[in-house]
Structure 1
Amino acid sequence: MRADAEQLDIADVTANWVNAEVLRGDIELRIKALADLADTPLFFGRLDYLHSLDEEGESGHRFYIGRRHVHDADGDPMVIDWRAPVSQPFYRATKQDPQDVGLRRRFGYDGGELTAYEDEHLSDPAEAERSSALLQREIERPRVGPMRDIVATIQPEQDEIVRAPLAGSLCVQGAPGTGKTAVGLHRVAYLLYAYRERLARSGTLVIGPNRSFLRYIEQVLPALGELEVRQTTVDELVTAGLRDVQVRGADSPAAALVKGDARMAEVLRRAIRSHVRVPDEGGESLVVVRGSRRWRVPAYELAQLVRELLARDMRYGAAREALPQRIAHAVLVRMERAGEAPDDRVQNAVARNAAVKAAVKEIWPQVDPVKLVLRLLSDADFLAGQAAGLLGEEEQKAILWDRPARGVKSAVWSPADAVLIDEARDLVERTGSLGHVVLDEAQDLSPMQYRAVGRRCSTGSVTILGDIAQGTTPWATPSWAVALGHLGKPEAVVEELTQGFRVPRTVIAYASRLLPAIAPGLAEATSIRDSPGAFEVRRAAPGARAEAAVAACREALAHEGSTGLIAADADLPALGEALTAAGLAHLAPGEETSAGARLTLVPASLAKGLEYDYVVLVEPAAVVAGEPDRRTGLRRLYVALTRAVSGLTVVHAEDLPAELTGCAPRAGERPAG
């Protein structure tokens, strides 16, 4: 297929050189998409249908299922794309509902080499129901490098989410290890397959919590043949196009909490509309000169036009563009009364009249969103006027800058400030909407961040992925209903994934001790892992915590796969020095794709969304203490405890948090040395 694309002759098939360049670019992209991935098999399953699916009789009843469509030199299909309707029973057929499938075959690979297969005779009542050994092996395969696709192991409840229609918005509440991130990415791939033309026009976007997370997931969509999906963070999203705004500051928790509050949207709306000056009804009329005639629009009529536009609650910029046309229409009414017959050209000419333009400039001046937010955060009197009845005095003090900036370039902007600017920009001019947005780790967004994302899919749909129990910001959403309201998608369907595929049973059970304190309404996750996983809690001697952590890392590295050493952010420098002194090479977060070391030193604040075969978690009490409040700290600890795929070792010198020790000790816990 790649050779056919490379041999295409486009010398005489286009009308001009511009079209030729566009076509050449499309062909180059096609060739790139057809590149071989040596360790990624093209097919992983087979379906034998009981009855023919075509009108030709017996042909076409057997299909090989793979990551992409593959055809032979004659154009006949050899492998069917996993997203095609005929492939769906591979994921959903059961003995109770075989969906006309007689046999389902799964293929096992070692790298790119076929090593095994297993058959399920779905129509044979004599064959007992059994779990798939190949499926289990794939789930438990060591995690090295970036996230892999799960196209060969998608489960029925996941497949329903993946194949949900584009028109509906979905919210996926998923416990650790339930595959919600992978489901969201595979949903993008499915939507691009099923609605490619529509999404090619409107666009698709994946939003993650940070760059480390995006580097971790960046290979999933290319492995599925989708190369053009943009991936970004909320911070990058709202700063795009802001050339003079350099985000290099940080807010206090109190300031960030207020700036992220939905009430700030109304404060900004008031601030923008405060620039409108309604004419004094007893003031001078507007005089428009056309040839030898003078046309007067009384001040009271101008005031009425302005109030009507304000009452319509249009965007500031759209209303400013409408005002001269409204004034011109008032002039045309007077012309018609005087016996003239003006047309649209005359109305447009009146709207461009110097007197009309001067009046609009005075009544409805232009507003720069960046300068507006700068004034709001620098001018206490201006902020007080716009926040009256919305923010208390202490809240206003929290968001006011200690040192007002002299200008936009000299201001020390924070990420929350950039979100305010984005809101102000939308109040002036409508933000463009995409066809579909995937928002991962959504539980951590503030109401204002939700609004920023919602603007990008106001006429499209969204897939929200997250876990209320893993909310680790002071403004983490209390419920999905609240979050969906801020996104502007209150009608979105909420699906819950509770069956885990990644975290071992003993590990998820230990971490779930925290759920009553951090998310009492959520059900405890279960795991289908046959292997219980290695789990140990070690008490280190005072002053020997780093040495105990190094020893635990050595033991983990004796196994195949990756190891993550997770600790409170403040403890990382000392742990890094201890690893270096012990001769253990290690990577920083985001360097997982680098060759060499299999050990990554991970700050607890960046662990969310990542996974490692073995995790060494150092000092849970320090992880909790590193957050502004205890509940947030316990949620951060819950995240850190659930990053392990094969084994977890908890090393501590201080007492464990009471929430972890409130239950009877479980198997595998023992003090060290």
Structure 2
Amino acid sequence: MSSPAPPPTPATSPGGPDDGAASPLATEQAHLAASRAALRAMRAETEALDISDVAANWVNAEVLAAEIEQRIKALADLSGTPLFFGRLDFEHPLDGRDGSGEHGHRFYIGRRHVHDGNGDPMVIDWRAPVSQPFYRATKKDPQDVALRRRFGYDGGELTAYEDEHLTDPAEAEQASELLQREIEKPRVGPMRDIVATIQPEQDELVRAPLSGTVCVQGAPGTGKTAVGLHRVAFLLYAHRERLARSGTLVIGPNRSFLRYIEQVLPTLGELEVKQATVGELVGRVEVRGTDDAVAAGIKGDARMAEVLRRAVRAGVRMPEEGIVVVRGSRRWRVSAGQLTELVRELLDRDIRYGAAREALPQRIAHTVLVQMERAGEAPDDRVQNAVARMPVVKALVKDVLPPVDPAKLVMRLLSDADFLAAQADGVLDAGEQRAILWERPPRGLRSVRWSAADAVLIDEAHDLVERTGSLGHVVLDEAQDLSPMQYRAVGRRCSTGSATILGDIAQGTTPWATDSWESALTHLGKADGQVEELTTGFRVPRAVIAYASRLLPAIAPGLKEATSIRDAAGSFEIRPVPGDAGDEAVVAACREALEREGSIGLIAADGRLPALAGALTAAGLPFLAPGDETSTGSRLTLVPSSLAKGLEYDYVVLDEPAAVVAGEPDHRTGLRRLYVCLTRAVSGLTITHTQPLPAELG
């Protein structure tokens, strides 16, 4: 690290000569100003494009106009966001052989590409190949980097820099103070990107090939969510045209979580990535009901896929009589045996039910055409299509392969004991069948109070009838909480694409939470996915993660204990209080936290929220709900423990750990929920309790 000694004066443009007339900091500030001016010029040039006579028709014109509009939005200069955050000086000029297409030896690394009026790069996109050494070069493996410079910012203003001379043997390797400062910035408002602080092990996952599915097992604070979002941004950069056609999707556990992360990709210039929850993904019916844990677990079991497959085919009836097709003065007969053979052939191929219904008329018509040809006629495709559309053929198909409505099918399965028993024979036992049967049959589809698990069953049935469209890449966060049937629903959305799976088995808080990523990947249809583990934390303070890790032997004995590079002394406190002073102690802890800089999350068992909301209101402390945080609103958020997963706050006040555990269906799930709540803090954690702490915490 070269802070005491003045570093080489940087150039005002990549690859240019040093300017000794100005201080290094002033020169870098001048380059920032010039880069921002160049970005504004790039946007103005795009806005001035005249496309009135370019497109061949109005449809192409609309598409082109939309693409230009998106380009204009992507070129917006976010004044509070650093345009570049690093600089690389290579020992030898690059000649483009690395795939960057750039020439020179000095490059500024930033969130997007910026060039001057001559087309020369002023800022290189962090995703470009030439930028990779910024994240991975070390003194042991400098990757031809002589100097790596990091920049410090206050808002959008460049205020500091820090140098590493990677090829200088006299300079010892040290931890970056600017990197540490960036990691420890207060978290106010939505989640921000980590593009300036990506670590080598994270960068390897971010830049993994599109063709492979990557599963990231990450302890709290290891940046797995950020890795997933930055991976999307990288893939869109490296495979723009392909993913523009096939699409990308980020799936989160709930809307609060999605609102929290929704600004990350736009700050990286990616505006078109869609976000959804699993419930929204399978939202073919309105969810108004709930299941108990037993019923939900059975409905979410992968065995239900076989039950549904049988149910879809339950209405198939083999033809008992043949049909006669009349063409002009000729009559052509297809026997019952021939028809049965055609139907069995389609069913044996195990194609989707809807595809079989579409194929059967053509198969029947082809059989008729073979007879015509043997009789000396010369029919063509038009004749075959005409035969396939004949009423007698359509009637036969409707009788043999009757239409299937997925919602009606699932309704019958869950309300008709005899029908369920026939389809679940040898798959679900009698007790399991009783557990998922509705107590009283509904009067019709409109009266059904579908549960979230029912919606997934309908989605499965729909795919058995008609193929679900596949995206190019899907990111699934908090994946440990999905049921096997939910994994199948997600897998259908990337059956011809790839996926990034993010989660932590120790944070699984549903009764059906997975205990094995290998099993989850199999249900997802990506059994060959690569499982990687992140154990180095950058968010949770060392004392906090060590305390929370006391729960690991009880909730996930096979996982490694996470470590943290952060050591916020005095940021962890446990406060036992008398039984009648619990609410007062919570309010006092929140007041103390509000005296510090950053966001505050008051996390409590869901059942405790009304009392705590009343106490905060009476004390004059305004608060927000999860997902409603902004940089200008209240810094205090009241968080139900059921929604804490994936969120982070500078300071956390955790109310009554025993109540958090007791609020779950079983003790192990309760301990996992507590583990989640304990690890939401970035700088400090205060625990208040009137009840004894769980024994597993020691």
Correspondence 1:403-552 to 2 at 5 A: 403-532=440-569, 534-552=571-589
Using the TM superposition, give the Cα deviation of residue 304 of structure 1 relative to its aligned residue in structure 2, in angstroms: 1.4
Q: 382-391 vs 175-184, which deviates more?
A: 382-391
In the alignment, structure 1 residue 221 sits paired with structure 2 residue 265: yes
Correspondence 1:82-93 to 2 at 5 A: 82-93=126-137
Find the counterpart in structure 1 of residue 3 from structure 2: none
AA paired with 2:47?
A: E
Could you tell me the TM-score, scaled by structure 2's length? 0.92
Cα deviation, 1:382-408, whole Å, max 9, x if unaligned, reads 111111111112211211112222222
Number of aligned residue pairs? 653
Using the TM superposition, give the Cα deviation of residue 76 of structure 1 relative to its aligned residue in structure 2, in angstroms: 1.2
Distance 1:533 1:504, change over 3 A: farther
Q: 402-411 vs 305-314, which deviates more?
A: 402-411
Using the TM superposition, give the Cα deviation of residue 19 of structure 1 relative to its aligned residue in structure 2, in angstroms: 2.7
Find the counterpart in structure 1 of residue 629 from structure 2: 592
AA paired with 1:35?
A: A
In the alignment, structure 1 residue 110 sits paired with structure 2 residue 160: no
Cα deviation, 1:118-153, whole Å, max 9, x if unaligned, reads 000000000001000000001111000000100000
Find the counterpart in structure 2 of residue 190 from structure 1: 234
Matching residue within 187, 197, 206 for 2:250:
206
Q: 301-310 vs 192-201, which deviates more?
A: 301-310
Q: Is the 8 A contact 1:506 1:533 kept in 2?
A: no
AA paired with 1:370?
A: A
Matching residue within 50, 60, 64 for 1:23:
64
In the alignment, structure 1 residue 250 sits paired with structure 2 residue 290: yes
Q: Is the 8 A contact 1:278 1:306 kept in 2?
A: yes
The 2-side partners of 1:347 and 1:641 are apart by 68
Using the TM superposition, give the Cα deviation of residue 59 of structure 1 relative to its aligned residue in structure 2, in angstroms: 6.5
Find the counterpart in structure 2 of residue 666 from structure 1: none
Could you tell me the TM-score, scaled by structure 1's length? 0.96
AA paired with 1:146?
A: P
Q: Is the 8 A contact 2:210 2:498 kept in 1?
A: yes
Using the TM superposition, give the Cα deviation of residue 598 of structure 1 relative to its aligned residue in structure 2, in angstroms: 0.6
Q: Is the 8 A contact 1:504 1:533 kept in 2?
A: no
The 1-side partners of 2:370 and 2:434 are apart by 51
Correspondence 1:274-353 to 2 at 5 A: 274-280=314-320, 284-353=321-390
The 1-side partners of 2:445 and 2:239 are apart by 42
The 2-side partners of 1:332 and 1:597 are apart by 75
Find the counterpart in structure 2 of residue 610 from structure 1: 647
**SS of residue paired to 2:189:** coil
Q: 251-260 vs 178-187, which deviates more?
A: 251-260
Using the TM superposition, give the Cα deviation of residue 24 of structure 1 relative to its aligned residue in structure 2, in angstroms: 2.1
AA paired with 2:296?
A: A
Correspondence 1:328-407 to 2 at 5 A: 328-407=365-444
Cα deviation, 1:543-568, whole Å, max 9, x if unaligned, reads 21111111111111111001100010
Q: Is the 8 A contact 2:188 2:631 kept in 1?
A: no
Matching residue within 290, 295, 302 for 1:262:
302
Correspondence 1:147-166 to 2 at 5 A: 147-166=191-210
Identity of aligned residues (%): 80
Using the TM superposition, give the Cα deviation of residue 89 of structure 1 relative to its aligned residue in structure 2, in angstroms: 0.1
Distance 1:192 1:377, change over 3 A: same
Distance 1:59 1:158, change over 3 A: closer
The 1-side partners of 2:67 and 2:367 are apart by 52
In the alignment, structure 1 residue 61 sits paired with structure 2 residue 105: yes
Using the TM superposition, give the Cα deviation of residue 275 of structure 1 relative to its aligned residue in structure 2, in angstroms: 1.2
AA paired with 2:447?
A: S
Cα deviation, 1:43-89, whole Å, max 9, x if unaligned, reads 00000000011289x96100000000011122211000000000000
Q: 405-414 vs 102-111, which deviates more?
A: 405-414
The 2-side partners of 1:372 and 1:227 are apart by 39
What RMSD over aligned residues (CA atoms) do the two structures have, in Å? 1.3
In the alignment, structure 1 residue 145 sits paired with structure 2 residue 189: yes
The 2-side partners of 1:217 and 1:340 are apart by 66
Using the TM superposition, give the Cα deviation of residue 16 of structure 1 relative to its aligned residue in structure 2, in angstroms: 3.1
AA paired with 1:107?
A: F
In the alignment, structure 1 residue 41 sits paired with structure 2 residue 82: yes
Distance 1:533 1:160, change over 3 A: farther
Using the TM superposition, give the Cα deviation of residue 533 of structure 1 relative to its aligned residue in structure 2, in angstroms: 5.5
**SS of residue paired to 2:446:** coil
Q: Structure 2 unaligned runs (5+)?
A: 1-41
AA paired with 1:170?
A: V
The 1-side partners of 2:179 and 2:490 are apart by 36
Q: 594-603 vs 9-18, which deviates more?
A: 9-18
The 2-side partners of 1:304 and 1:7 are apart by 65
Q: Is the 8 A contact 2:222 2:538 kept in 1?
A: yes
Q: Is the 8 A contact 2:542 2:566 kept in 1?
A: yes
Q: 523-532 vs 355-364, which deviates more?
A: 523-532
Q: 536-545 vs 333-342, which deviates more?
A: 333-342
Using the TM superposition, give the Cα deviation of residue 288 of structure 1 relative to its aligned residue in structure 2, in angstroms: 1.2
Cα deviation, 1:602-635, whole Å, max 9, x if unaligned, reads 0000000000000010111110000001110000
AA paired with 1:154?
A: I
In the alignment, structure 1 residue 7 sits paired with structure 2 residue 48: yes
**SS of residue paired to 1:31:** helix
